[in-house]
Amino acid sequence: MSAARVGAARVVITGMGVRTAAGDTPDALWAALAESRPAAGPVRSFDATGFPVDVACEITGFDPAGYLTPKQAARADRSAQLAFCAAADAITDAGGLAAESGRRAVVTGTAHGGLRTLEQALLRQVDGVGRPRALYTPMVMSNAGAALISMIYGIGGPSLTLSTACASGGHAVGEGAQLVRAGSADVVVAGGHDAPLTPTNMVAMYRLGALATGFADPARSSRPFDAGRKGFVMAEGAAFVVLESLESAQARGARIHAELIGYGRNSDAYHLTAPHPAGAGALACMTAALADAGVTAREVVHVNAHGTGTELNDLAEARAVAELFGPGEVPVTAPKSVTGHAIGGAGAIEAVVAAMSVARGLAPPTANLTELDPRCELDVVTDAPRKLPAGPVLSNSFAFGGHNACLVLTPVEGRDL
């Protein structure tokens, strides 16, 4: 344990829930990752005929019934609906929220908030003015997911929302852990969500040159670290965890998925959309997370990479990982090869994947990697899950604006109690 954390509560994950195109439970998501089954497919949520981008990772058949009443669902954007369902599953998995209302907290992360509601209102313009519904404002606000979770689950403590682009979910989990560490809350529901698959947003990302296009097989479009990559595949999704102190979890006999022992966050302070080319910000963030965890790079058994499949991100992250751990010295995987990039939800989805790696002792393979870019000096896991020794797993989230978040998770067993 780092000197800065002496006396602080140890934070564990006792509940997990997800909504992704690759699976709507952690087990289903893990199966897709382990079997290298990419979720990317043709765009179906809108007519993409003649559209410049025709591939995405969409959640098919999503229905919040059973989680939200028809009235509640009608008042929530799809992004908030995904958030609530994932959070509800995490709470159920944890066996409920083991604290009184004022000692409960929720921290959400999202890049886009209620983007679908926003775009629908603007596309219905009359004389240059959008035609919003009466509940337009509360449906598009970024904190709508946090508000919905807090209201239905009686969370009377801190209710916070972070928006740091693609690092939002990672930051939400990390900041949630900080609330438990500091004694500001006894139990925290933390995670990220986004439903960014709208025509305008996808055209914007296409014009930015970020999205993968031109693959005959849509499932092959997301190719992190591959020499033939062309960008990322946009996805929708949400993931949440329940965080509480180790003491609380043990006292109530809760199942512990993993312990969150380290958190780093910083900024590249470099460019609006491009990472520092040498990965300086990513390297500093990973180093800070390991220092917070009180572990060395040599002790880390696996890196869950941000790995988007864009050239700039892949090269910067690969350089930072190789600098910190040594070229090819730590097993690396890129879940976005299967899940696509869920933007504000991505970091939380990958925190759940990292926790499952810890619990199972396995690193899932990276799909669609047929030729490693020689500039990426990494040991990327492919073909099948790789057995890992018990030890710390690092999960990376890096974002537009230079926002970085890194989480370190480990098994509770084997650590001093």
Residues annotated as part of the active site? 166, 306, 341
DSSP 215-274: -SSGGG---TTBTT---B-BB-EEEEEEEEEHHHHHHTT----EEEEEEEEEE--S-SSS
Strand partners, 319: none
User: How is residue 188 written in tokens?
Assistant: 């925290």
Q: What are phi and psi of 194, to 5 degrees?
A: -165, 145
Q: The tokens 């904190």 sit on which residue?
A: 143
Query: Exposure string (b/e) for 240-258, b if CB count within 10 Å is 16 or more?
Result: bbbbbbbebbeeeebebbb
User: How is residue 99 written in tokens?
Assistant: 């604290």
Residue 5: burial class (beta carbons within 10 Å; 0-12, 13-18, 19+): middle
Residue 47: burial class (beta carbons within 10 Å; 0-12, 13-18, 19+): exposed
Residue 156 near residue 57 (C-beta atoms within 8 A): no
CA gap 167, 402 in Å, rounded: 9
CA gap 348, 356 in Å, rounded: 12
CA gap 386, 276 in Å, rounded: 31
3-state DSSP call for residue 214? coil
Q: Which of 310, 275, 226 is nearest to 398 (CA)?
A: 275
User: For residue 363, which amino acid is it?
Assistant: A
User: How is residue 141 written in tokens?
Assistant: 């606000």
CA angle 129, 131, 135 (to 5 degrees): 130
Q: What are phi and psi of 310, to 5 degrees?
A: -90, 150
Strand partners, 189: 106, 242
Q: The tokens 């996805």 sit on which residue?
A: 235
Q: What are phi and psi of 376, to 5 degrees?
A: -100, 95
User: How is residue 321 written in tokens?
Assistant: 């990982």
